[in-house]
Amino acid sequence: MSLLMETKLKYAASRRELEDDTFYEEQLKTYQEKVKEGVKYDKEKPDYSLIPPSALEDMVKVLTFGAEKYDRHNWKKLDNLEDRYFAAAQRHLWAVMRGETHDPESGEHHYAHALCCIMYLLEFYSLQNTENSIES
């Protein structure tokens, strides 16, 4: 095949690709004009964006500290879990009331520790009370 013929074929292929791109862009523009706003049916779902990010990060720091000190998910293995985490949450809350904002051992805020304790209590409650779940 001659160089001229190869060039003509490449040119023709390039024009088709360009025409395809132009057609696609026109179709996309038409669609976007019809649909001014995207649609997602998630109004009935929990809105995780409501979680305050700084508080969440502080809680994760406490959880990481605990996982390194004890073990991951060690909290699930405690005897008398409800009383112990309730008492621990109270200790952290009362420490703040006495003017001590940060736990001396972890360096994290006592409120973050209290939140973790309460989160454990809520998770334990949820795991123990399956009759409250949708599945049962």
The percent of the chain in helix, strand and coil, each rounded to the nearest 5, is 70, 0, 30
Strand locations in 87-129, DSSP E? Answer: none
State how far the Cα of 24 lies from the Cα of 1, in Å rounded to an integer.
Answer: 32
**99 φ/ψ sector (left φ>0, alpha ψ -120 to 50, else beta):** left
The mean pLDDT value for 109-126 works out to 96
**Does the predicted model carry a pTM greater than 0.85?**
no
pLDDT at 35 over 70: no
Q: Taking a C-beta distance cutoff of 8 angstroms, is the pair 113, 103 a contact?
A: yes
The mean pLDDT value for 105-132 works out to 91
Taking the CA atoms of residue 60, residue 65, residue 66 and residue 69 in that order, the dihedral angle to the nearest 10 degrees is: 160
pLDDT, one tens digit per residue, over 69-103 is: 999 999 999 999 999 999 999 999 999 999 999 99
pLDDT confidence band for 136 (50 / 70 / 90) = very low
Task: Classify 99 as helix, strand or coil.
Answer: coil
Task: Classify 109 as helix, strand or coil.
Answer: strand
